[in-house]
Amino acid sequence: MRTLTHETRIAVQRVRDRYSATRCAAVLLGAFLLSWPAIYNGFPLLYPDSMAYLGNGRLVARALFLHRFSADYGPRSLVYSLGTLPWSWYKNPWPIVGLQCLLVAWIVWLVVRSFVPRHIVTSYLALIVFLSVLTSASWYAGFIMPDILGPVLYLSIYLIVYARETLSRGERLALYLIAWWSITAHATHLLLAIGLCFLLALLAALNRRRSPGRLRPVGEVAAILAVAAASQMALNGYLYGTPSLNGRHAPILMARVIADGPGRWYLEKNCPQLQWAVCEHLRSLSSDPNTFLWGTDAPYESASESEKQRFEAEEIPLVLAALRAYPRQQFSLSAANFLDQLRYFGMFAFNYNERILERLDEVMPSERASYLKSRQERDALHLVLLTHIELWIIVASLLAIAVLILPAWRRHSRRLAGLSIVIAAMVVANAWVTGVLSGFNHRYQCRVIWMIPLLAGIFVLDWLEQRRTGKSDLALPANEREYNCAIQPTP
């Protein structure tokens, strides 16, 4: 390889500096564009669970640093609560919006750069405007919930496994940290990441090109998963005295099998012989799992602390008993739940909810006046229209992918195939995990569905890049080719 002259090194450094400033400005602008729904709302978008995440961080920090323990830390991710605490500190949630928007903007930048090495700023801004205005990406980035960290995790795994050579050492280390936090932010992220890791390991093992080190990137992902699981177990062990992945968790699987029917049928038939706490609420069991867990006078929510512990201990025995008694019925119902979750998504998580203001008064009373001025509080966010827009964007994106997939297939683009596998697998698996194991909710699929327009945008940018490269590559001056080579990230 030819050694660069001193003059060329100086010129390359100037190009690096200029490109670095331009890149930073582009990513910051992308983060600002992603924050528009929160700005339009007049306040960060909230959900009743948002208050639990905001409130629990202080309890965990107090236990870790002051050794002042609480009896209960709730069923939500304690690592996400702790991670967002320095950005809000019980006073203002806006910095959390800035953090999440910046993470999404940077991850999308790295994804675009892995396909478009030249004219990247123009390509990136075009894609980020598209995602911000016409998809749910910007809405979930401005949502005080860990939902957006799911797509951030899956795209990070793509970058680590399929686009490793486009990343600098510092970028890889940052991705490891982001992936770790994203895994610990929600129980479904851990399940989905484990499944994705097994899938990518299988594909690497079956690859005809048995290059040395082909399993190393997947091994790095597995190591991140192991560290994340160990971190959760260590934190829960410290707080509760018993290591566990989820700490104190609501009996979601119990609520699911009861709502589907087999759990309720089993209880109706066998409660006279059982000494279970759930049998005492047999007449009030609902076909909605959320009603069992969180509704007004819900059996679980209204139970005493000792009764909640009994519910939690009875969860797995009930689920296994219902599966043994009604396997065919449960399979059929779970398949229907999966298909419903896969097909239906919407922006309705941002609707007005009276519980938000109640919890906000407990966690951030100083922000009450600001929240009361928000469009969300007035139920004026036009969410039905936005859902219809995204639906048509999804349809158009699938059509664009169908048109452009054949040229990409002929080129044997490893990165495009890898990104397609990751996104398709996670969109489908997310519907399975949430639809089968939890209750149906438009929010669950909406938080990942924007990755389909992202994939369509990458297909278009890759196609344009191939056309541009084919026409102009040979026309580049030698010194410009040298610059382009020198300023690429080093693995």
| 270-314 tens-digit pLDDT | 998 888 989 988 887 877 787 778 766 778 877 788 888 888 889
d(CA 342, CA 353): 25
pLDDT digits (tens, 9 = 90+) for 312-329: 889 999 999 999 999 999
Let me know: does 145 contact 51? Beta carbons within 8 Å.
no
Among 105-114, 255-264, 457-466, the range of highest mean pLDDT: 105-114
Pick from 134, 150, 108, 145: nearest CA to 426: 150
**Best CA proximity match to 394, nearest among 459, 455, 463:** 455
Asked whether residue 355 falls in the same domain as residue 329, the answer is no
Calpha distance 258→4 (Å, rounded): 70
Say yes or no: 266 and 224 in one domain: no
Residues 171 and 491: their CA atoms lie apart, in Å, by: 10
CB atoms within 10 A of CB 390: 24
Structure tokens at 85: 């605490």
Q: What six digits make up the tokens of 457?
A: 């945008």
Residue range 243-250: mean pLDDT, rounded: 80
Domain assignment present for 383? yes
Q: What is the pLDDT of residue 485?
A: 39
Whole-model pTM over 0.85:
yes
Q: Identify the domain containing residue 285 by its residue range.
A: 252-337
* pLDDT tens-digit map of 202-232: 998 887 666 666 789 999 999 999 999 999 9
Q: Are 211 and 300 found together in one domain?
A: no
Please check whether residues 384 and 349 belong to one and the same domain: yes
Q: Counting beta carbons within 10 angstroms of the beta carbon of residue 216, is it exposed (0 to 12), middle (13 to 18) or buried (19 or more)?
A: exposed
Number of domains in the chain: 2
HSE of 406, CA atoms in CB hemisphere, 13 A: 3
Q: Is residue 186 part of a domain?
A: yes
The answer to whether position 4 is within a domain reads no
Residue 175, token pair as written in the block: 């991705």
Domain boundary among the residues 273, 306, 337 is at 337
3 within some domain: no
Same domain? 98 vs 202: yes
| 491 within some domain | no
Residues constituting the chain: 491
Q: Among 337, 366, 394, which residue terminates a domain? A: 337
For the segment 141-148, the average pLDDT, to the nearest whole number, is: 96
Residue at 32 is within a domain = yes
Q: Are 173 and 164 in contact (CB under 8 A)?
A: no
- Helices of type H across 241-367: 252-260, 262-270, 289-293, 305-325, 327-343, 354-363
Q: What tokens does 431 get? A: 């519907």
- Are 156 and 87 within one domain? yes
Q: What are the angstrom distances between the C-alpha of 143 and each of 58, 76, 217, 229?
A: 20, 16, 31, 25
| 304 and 414 co-located in one domain | no
Looking at the structure, tell me whether residues 186 and 296 fall in a common domain. Answer: no
Same domain? 333 vs 402: no
